[in-house]
Structure 1
Amino acid sequence: MPQSSINRNLLLLHLTVIIWGFTGILGALISISAIYLVWYRVLIAFISLFLYFKFTRQSIKINKGSLLKFTLTGGLVGLHWILFFQSIKLSNVSVTLVCMSSLTLFTALLEPLVNKRKIEYLELIIGLFIIIGIYLIFKFEAKYVIGIILGLLCAFCGSLFTIINSKLIKHSKATIISFYEMLGAWLWVSLYLFLSQNFTNKMLLTNSDLIYLLILGTVCTSAAYVAGVSVMKELSAFRVALITNLEPVYGIVLALLFFKQEEKMSLGFYAGALIVLGAVFLYPIFKSKIEHRKLKKQLPII
């Protein structure tokens, strides 16, 4: 594989991760409540993905069983995003992004239960460091306690649908899964708004909200997702995971640039964030080394 092609894909992946980090900025800038924000986001996302399928002349036909699985998982995706944006509105971008990093902890604990395997010592150690980091954030940023809790619940939901998608991807294309999950998220949020009689004038958008939502739904959701999937053709899963872990780092830097004083936190927060992000970033490195050693032991001696 040419080095120029690898470098191009690495650059594309970094840009994609920066765009994902920018999602939190848009969430803070959009004035409508979190549930309306998500309703518009997934609506724009699945419409733009539908247009993508039409443009590329790809079929979106699936069987009823897959449709049910995708739309149910979409409800979980919708809840994840509602919690994410509500956490931002009740705290700030930096707090929410660090809490989102606990997704690694939840996945390390939940995946072995789903796949019926033992939890590895490395996962327990990394999980312990993440808990210590989050404890420090709780201790020094008590005024954001509800936002922190919502951020952790958001990470828990994110972990669940990530595990589910890791099974679904074995039988379906990533773009098809994404399209129907966006549609499912929109249907479930719409059902909730209908039953709770919350389709009101509170959903009306200002001109700036409309612009931010269009960027969020197209660039930060549909386009970024397609780009994120495309680089996996040439980059290893390890490399993709390692760079994706930079999302909260990019997001916090962007938040400081956009909101300045509003995003400046206590030293305790940054100590906790450093522990969490360090654990998340080092996890795939240590895991790769352990798996490499296991593989070497299994190789026959010639």
Structure 2
Amino acid sequence: MASFKHYLELHFIVFVWGFTAILGKLISIPAVELVFLRTLIAAATLALIIKFTGKSFRIGRGPIIKIIGVGMLISAHWMLFFASARVASVSICLAGMATSSLWTAILEPIFYQKKIKPHEIGLALLIFLGLYLIFQFEFSHALGILMGVGSAMLGATFSIINSRLTRKYSPLNITCYEMAGACLGTALFMPIYQLFLSPDHAVHFTLTPLDWVYILTLALVCTVYPFTGSVRLMQRIPIFNMNLSINLEPVYGIVFAYFIFGESEHMSGGFYAGALIILFSVFIHPILDRRYENRQLQSTLPNGIGGAGHS
């Protein structure tokens, strides 16, 4: 049973996630090197936690390979996420990331052969309208918004796969192997990045003392704790309520970015109109989803039970 303490912790986790893109912009090294260090520190920390709490690393070779593969997907998701905040702005990045709930709604039926819900088609069109408004008024940030949307799609994909994994394996083990997979995926991508994407064909790991403070905060406070904490809270809080709370992340992030970065985060009216449409779609989705499920349940009941509203 969820208590006020559980809901307070959930909102604190969402609040922490709101700072992720801001930290990514504050750290001076490029996105690829940033993801490599973030995942290396997170994986090492989780491995130490597993070792010193006496838990087992063993979950079978097949599952480990699968989880490491999911981790590689996470590395691509994070590289696009941080690159979006760098080439455009934190607000643009988070506007793109706000589409993740809709990507989940679109991709989950494809992954698990579920029926596509009619209201989700309408919400998808509404989100594309919001993106069109952002593109029209902030076309100079087109690459940033595309990276943000791409990151959201990858994030939705890994979340869908993760939802099945968490039923079988310990959240601590899953997160540890996923962070190791993300670190490995970033390391494998690094030669391609160095040859074709790095401006000076080099990798950059020179960090200032302040960079180390930011990156340790990112790896420990914004990665290790929220990943394990959110999975643990799923055992207490209904997923409907969790989704409503997590949808506040882009709102927190955009507000924080404006106060931290000031005028550099100021956008046109078209951007805010488009972002509001996207956020409205994200917030209304679970409400419409709940009504759809109730109607589907009522339609399966015998006549006269729960069908008083049909005429």
1:85 is aligned to 2:82: yes
Q: Which has the higher helix share?
A: 1
- TM-fit CA distance, 1:218: 0.2
Match of 1:21 in 2: 18
Q: Look up the equivalent residue of 1:231 and give its one-letter code.
A: L
Match of 2:233 in 1: 231
**Alpha-carbon distance in 2 for matches of 1:197, 1:104:** 33
**Alpha-carbon distance in 1 for matches of 2:223, 2:21:** 12
- TM-fit CA distance, 1:194: 5.0
Greater mean deviation of Cα atoms: 205-214 or 44-53: 44-53
Match of 1:104 in 2: 101
Q: Is the 8 A contact 2:175 2:228 kept in 1?
A: no
Match of 1:266 in 2: 268
1:116-131 pair list within 5 angstroms: 116-131=113-128
Q: 1:207 to 1:200 in 2, by over 3 A?
A: farther
**Alpha-carbon distance in 1 for matches of 2:193, 2:155:** 25
Q: Secondary structure at the match of 1:205?
A: coil
- TM-fit CA distance, 1:296: 3.0
**Alpha-carbon distance in 2 for matches of 1:101, 1:174:** 25
1:95-244 pair list within 5 angstroms: 95-193=92-190, 202-244=204-246
Match of 2:198 in 1: none
Q: Look up the equivalent residue of 1:124 and give its one-letter code.
A: I
- TM-fit CA distance, 1:244: 0.4
Match of 2:309 in 1: none
1:55 is aligned to 2:57: no
Q: Look up the equivalent residue of 1:207 and give its one-letter code.
A: P
Greater mean deviation of Cα atoms: 271-280 or 112-121: 112-121
Match of 1:297 in 2: 299
Match of 2:308 in 1: none
Q: 1:265 to 1:194 in 2, by over 3 A?
A: closer
Match of 1:247 in 2: 249
Q: 1:88 to 1:65 in 2, by over 3 A?
A: same
- TM-fit CA distance, 1:203: 1.3
TM normalised by structure 1 equals 0.94
Q: 1:201 to 1:36 in 2, by over 3 A?
A: closer
String of CA shifts for 1:66-96, please: whole Å, max 9, x gaps.
1110111111100000000000000111111
**Alpha-carbon distance in 1 for matches of 2:203, 2:174:** 32
**Alpha-carbon distance in 2 for matches of 1:217, 1:38:** 9
Q: Is the 8 A contact 2:95 2:145 kept in 1?
A: no
Gaps of 5+ in 1: none
Q: Look up the equivalent residue of 2:124 and give its one-letter code.
A: G
Q: Secondary structure at the match of 2:29?
A: coil
**Alpha-carbon distance in 1 for matches of 2:239, 2:52:** 28
Greater mean deviation of Cα atoms: 189-198 or 202-211: 189-198
Identity of aligned residues (%): 43
- TM-fit CA distance, 1:47: 1.2
String of CA shifts for 1:180-217, please: whole Å, max 9, x gaps.
11001111211232576689562121111111000000
Which 4+ stretches in 1 moved above 3 angstroms?
194-201, 299-302
Q: 1:195 to 1:87 in 2, by over 3 A?
A: closer
Q: How many pairs were matched up?
A: 299
- TM-fit CA distance, 1:167: 2.4
**Alpha-carbon distance in 2 for matches of 1:115, 1:150:** 26
Q: 1:110 to 1:196 in 2, by over 3 A?
A: closer
- TM-fit CA distance, 1:97: 0.6
- Matching residue within 20, 33, 38 for 1:41: 38
Q: Secondary structure at the match of 2:234?
A: helix
Match of 2:68 in 1: 71
Q: 1:201 to 1:117 in 2, by over 3 A?
A: closer
- TM-fit CA distance, 1:230: 2.2
